[in-house]
Amino acid sequence: MPQIFLPLDEITHCQVCGSLKDLRLCSQCGEAAYCSTECQKSDWPTHKKTCKTDRIDLTSFHPVLALIAEAVRVSATGTQRALRHVIVNSPNPGTPAEALPDGTQARIVKLGDPISPEEFSENTFKWWPTAKSEAVRLKLFRRITREGNVLPICLATCLALMHALYSTTTPAAADSPEHRIRLRYKSSPIADFGIARGKIKVAPEDLLAYVLSDGTVIKAQSPDDHYWIYFRTQKGDEAMLDCNMFPFNLCLIGHTRPYVPESVSYVPELVPMCFKDGAAGGGSSAKLAKLASQSEDPGQFLVERARFSVLRNPDILAAFEGVEVRDGSISMIGDVMEAFPEFLATIAGRKITSEERDCLFSTWATGYNVINDAALKDDRWKKFPPRPQIGIETDPGDVKR
């Protein structure tokens, strides 16, 4: 039954004399504010018992969060309809978008006969015979594999982060090996994180729509129902992480090797991750700007419409007290279990599906284990590169539009 210990949100007053001026944080923990070295020194005999804190830099750590999303997708591979049916047309790179019955546009993928998972893994040629090349085929495969469940994956990642990091605090006994673990970004502690809801601007030919043999049209992941994770520091700096752009052919990727422990059997070497300084829509990094320049309006690449704090949500904090993780799965005590899917529905502003609900709980459990195994165990995070290696996976043989 973890209790979540919130980080300091704002520096309001010196915790010794109450002064409102010249306030600075304790540089070791980022959790105590003082007006002067005198006040800090006088508080030290008490504060030292709770000061010890590992402060993990988000710039170095965020690939672990991208691993969570990928671990979930890898285990669900093959559940997408488009991977269980043969592709009978040729949606190769360069194919224009076509009009859909609802007036929108997308690149059409026509699905034919079912294909079994065995046949599929044996020979992907059978899945899509008219692909321009094997590279093109596998690129589409990776896009489809990474479709869907954007919101439950984002929320579960936040919950796993709270669960693994923010349930730790320094106990009163100074000789205890337990210590507090907190995230920081640049020089300031993370004060809040949660879900941003909005839209992502995508070129019509980078959207997919599946047409079944009976003519039914099913649109792939929606660019208008998009979510990502925002972070805000105590100083007010912002950062965002979006690991769900890949299906839109916005293929920012990062190397996973430095983050994957040897015990993890299979995670791809490159996984989607877009980490950006600042809030969505402004101050884009060079890599993202380069990516965005391929779409119509770089300034409107991601448009935030609403945000929902997860870390500081009172209902979520209360519900956490009934949560347990046993043998890699989440169990709940009492009625708290419903608080999490209800929050999912609140963020989405709609009813959620049973698949989304299941995805929320399974991703949370996976995420909790990934953070512990990849980052916290044996202090692995201390060996992470200061910033990850990032690249862009373009369409095979594609030249700049």
Q: Does 392 bind Zn ion (CB under 5 A)?
A: no
Q: State which H helix or E strand residue 145 sits in.
A: helix 134-145
Is the Cβ of residue 107 or residue 182 nearer to Zn ion in the bound state?
182
Residue 32 CB, nearest approach to Zn ion (Å): 5
Interacting residue with Zn ion among 26, 131, 253, 291 (CB under 5 A): 26
CB of 189 to Zn ion, least distance (A): 11
Report the Cα 99 to chain-centroid distance in Å.
32
According to the binding rule CB under 5 A, does residue 359 interact with Zn ion?
no
Site mask, Zn ion, residues 32-61, x = CB under 5 A? x--x---x-----------x----------
Q: Which residues contact 271 (CB under 8 A, 6 or more apart)?
A: 63, 66, 67, 69, 70, 243, 253, 254, 256
Q: Say if CB 312 and CB 9 are below 8 A apart.
A: yes
User: Least distance in Å: CB of 33 to Zn ion?
Assistant: 9
Single-letter amino acid, residue 59: T
Residue 168 CB: number of other CB atoms within 10 A? 18
The answer to whether residues 52 and 179 touch, using CB atoms and an 8 Å cutoff, is yes
* Beta bridge partners of residue 326, listed in sequence order: 329
**For residues 52 and 357, which CB has a smaller minimum distance to Zn ion in the complex?**
52
| Two tokens, residue 27 | 């540089």
Do 314 and 221 contact (CB within 8 A), yes or no?
no
Residue 306: how many CB atoms within 10 A of its CB?
A: 10
User: Does residue 19 bind Zn ion (CB under 5 A)?
Assistant: yes
8 Å CB contact between 304 and 279:
yes
Whether the CB-CB separation of 206 and 292 falls below 8 Å is answered with no
181 binds Zn ion (CB under 5 A): no
Q: Which stretch binds Zn ion (CB under 5 A): 27-35, 97-105, 121-129, 192-200?
A: 27-35
Smallest separation (angstroms) from Zn ion to the CB of 330:
32
Total site size for Zn ion, rule CB under 5 A:
11
Rounded to the nearest whole angstrom, what is the least distance from the CB of residue 265 to Zn ion in the complex? Answer: 40
Position 207 contacts Zn ion (CB under 5 A): no
By C-beta, is 51 or 360 nearer to Zn ion? 51
CB 104 within 8 A of CB 205: no
155 binds Zn ion (CB under 5 A): no
Among 14, 71, 144, 240, binds Zn ion (CB under 5 A): 14
Angle (nearest 5°) at CA 140 between 127 and 362:
95
Q: What is the largest CA-CA distance in the chain?
A: 78
Nearer to Zn ion by Cβ, of 131 and 183: the residue is 183
Q: How far is the CB of 182 from Zn ion (least distance, A)?
A: 11
Scanning 227-377, the segments in alpha helix (DSSP H) are 286-292, 314-320, 339-348, 354-370
Q: How far is the CB of 22 from Zn ion (least distance, A)?
A: 9
- Residue from 4, 8, 16, 131 touching Zn ion (CB under 5 A): that is 16
Closest CB to Zn ion among 28 and 75?
Answer: 28
Q: Is 28 in the site for Zn ion (CB under 5 A)?
A: yes
* Residues found near Zn ion in the complex (CB under 5 A): 14, 16-17, 19, 26, 28-29, 32, 35, 39, 51
